[in-house]
Structure formats: structure tokens, C-alpha cells
Amino acid sequence: MREIVFDTETTGLDPKTGDRMVEIGCIEMVNLVPTGESYHAYFNPERDMPAGAEAVHGLSAAFLSDKPLFRDLAAELLDFMGDSPLVAHNAGFDFGFLNAELTLIDREPVCTSRMVDTVALARKRHPGAKLSLDALCSRYGIDRSHRVKHGALLDAELLAQVYVELRGGRQIGLELAAEASALETVPAIQTSAVRKAPVGPRREPRVHRPSEAELARHREFMAGIENPLWS
């Protein structure tokens, strides 16, 4: 199954108050395996960049001033996404900004039925634990040492690894590989052992019979049982 793991960077927290999307990064996965195909773009938000937002992702208004508008790249972005499920961390946030940008250019919003929220998956799998992307990377041993600031494509790459862990994909793959290896090697070993000729002199099987004294003690024990079921 084809899925798109994506992340966005924005000028703030709420598109309803004028905040805009300034970056998007997408990773293509098929059957929980990254294909190597990705999509990444910066957008000119046609507005200022608040200091708080810039501190998070490092994208200044000056850097974005010569970048294309969202309307100029919307078609190729939607073409890359296709009709695949869209995986995001706190997906309602990213869907909100993506659909706000689409609405601004009179395009149909992406249906939320395609939304896969890794926060919801993590909450179900690890109730009460920290659910940030950093926390989940630490939990699953995913290297994020190169993540100095938030970046849409980098975060999407990290999230793709987290998503595999949340779905159990890596463990399942390892178990299947181990089982396949065992099936290839064990029968040959067993067959060889069964067909191997015995070494050394043949011994007659030992006869195990109770002695007369043991039989007498058994009869005495049985006679002492009151109201036996077999009488």
C-alpha cells in the first residue's frame, strides 16, 4: 500500500488568523518501506515571519521572499500525494494548513478520511508517555542528532521511521526473515541427523518390570483404599 508521510512548517499556529504554510516535505512509502521518492518545497507566505516561528524552523521572511507561491506548486504537490493516505504527526494541524492553502486558491480540500495521525497511534500504543517526535525518536532509538531546528523534509524522514515502529513493521520484518532463515536451514539439519547411521555397538533395549516386592506393596496399597471407584 502506498502512503505519504508529510510535515509542514508555518508562520504560526492558526491559519484562521492569517498564518500560512511556508514549507512542506513528503516521503513516499510502499508497504511501510520508503521508496526513495520525496517532495519538498518552500513557499513565499506573502507576509512577515514572527520571531517565535522563525526560532523554531529558522526560515526568515528574507529567505522565503524569492520562493514560489503555494498556488504555483499546488498541482505538482497534489500529483505527488495522489489519492494515498497521508501520515502526519498531530495530523489535524498539518491538514488544517494544507487545506487552508488549497481553499485560498479555490481548490478542493484534501478529505480528512485520508488522515493518519501518528500522535493518535502513539497514544494508543504508549498511553501516558511523551508523544512528541523527539520523544518517540528516543523511545525507538532513531538518530535525530542532525535535527538542530525543525525542517519539513527532515521531520518527515524521522516520522517515517517512527511510523514504521508504531505499526510494528520493522519487528515484523525481522521476525519473518528469521523464520524464513530457520525454515531454510533447520529441515536440512534434522534430515541429516535422522539419516545418520548409529555409531558404536548396538545395545538391547532394557526391560523395565516391577519386582515381586513392588507388586506386593502395590496390592497392599490398593487393598487399603476405601470405596474405590473401580470396585
List, by residue number, the catalytic residues.
Answer: 150
Q: Which of 164, 6, 27 is nearest to 94 (CA)?
A: 6
Kindly give the residue spans of alpha helices, DSSP state H, lying in the chain. 51-57, 61-64, 70-81, 91-104, 118-125, 133-139, 152-166, 169-195, 212-223
Sort strands 86-88 and 115-117 into parallel, antiparallel or unpaired: parallel
CA of 101: how far to CAs of 62, 71, 74, 88, in Å? 21, 8, 9, 17
Positive or negative torsion for Cα 215, 218, 220, 223: negative
